[in-house]
Amino acid sequence: MTENAKELVVTATSQLFSQLKPDLVDLYFGPSYIQHNPGVADGVEGLKGLVRILAGAQGFSVTTHRVIAENDLVAMHVTYHGFGPDPLVAFDIFRVENGRIVEHWDGLGPETPPNPSGRLQTDGPTEIKDLDKTGANRALVTEFVTEVLLGGRFDRLTSFISTKTYHQHNSAIADGLDGLGAAIEALGKQGVKMEYHKLHRVIAEGNFVLTQSEGAFGGEPTAYYDLFRVEDGLIVEHWDVMQPIAPAAQARNGNGLF
């Protein structure tokens, strides 16, 4: 299921977003398609409407950086050009059923300059390895998010994150546990709280694990997409997108962000 789902999603998105032909939607997406992006109307007709808008825009393109899949879920780490005036870095999650894409979630954020360690939001390793450790890596990251990010047990950081190598791609944070600690301290001094309230989804393949969580940043409802790379039983790299959650009344569908 995993490889078939991944192949379907990669083919569907590459064909749809390169050719920008609404008719391709019916080829790859199921009639019961559920859309969670609040800016797009629900169903296949909503997606066709988006494709028509993109077809009329100038310079739309997608750069795919990473793709991982687990069972019926496929996650993509991409950069969108032409959605707006500036590039957007995104994580897209697709659910596949009976050979069609039937549900979609995403989180998008503006592309930013290199972070304090010179890293970008999308660079770094892409090779999927250690497939035999998928379950263990999934469990490690799930426990990290549950215990540390949701539970506030920052005293347990070194149980999950390597003290030797921790490459950070968040645009405001430097490498290493020292960089993470400094960022948390700086937010505290500004009176800004980063809160994780609920873990919604975990997708793991080999050494990569993506989590989709709900919380708040500075008191504002926020969706968190965190991609972790695991090596030798510890987290050694992190990419993320944080997206403010708009009021439900502003959404073009009633499905919610999660």
Question: So what's the pLDDT on residue 191?
Answer: 84
Q: What is the pLDDT of residue 11?
A: 97
pLDDT computed for residue 181 by the predictor: 82
2-111 and 131-244, same CATH topology: yes
Domains of the chain, by residue range, sit at: 2-111, 131-244
pTM of the model: 0.96
pLDDT for residue 47: 98
pLDDT of 146? 98
The CATH number of domain 2-111 is 3.10.450.50: yes
What number of other Cβ atoms are within 10 A of residue 3's Cβ? 8
- Weakly modelled stretches of the chain, pLDDT under 50: none
The CATH number, out of the four listed (2.70.40.10, 3.10.450.50, 3.30.565.10, 3.10.350.10), of the domain defined by the range 131-244: 3.10.450.50
Q: Tell me the per-residue pLDDT of 22-62, one tens digit each, with 9 for 90 and over.
A: 999 999 999 999 999 999 999 999 999 999 999 988 889 99
Task: For 128-148, give one letter per residue: b (16+ CB within 10 A) or e.
Answer: beeeebbeebbebbeebbebb
Position 15 scores a pLDDT of 96
- In whole angstroms, give the CA distance from residue 100 to residue 57: 27
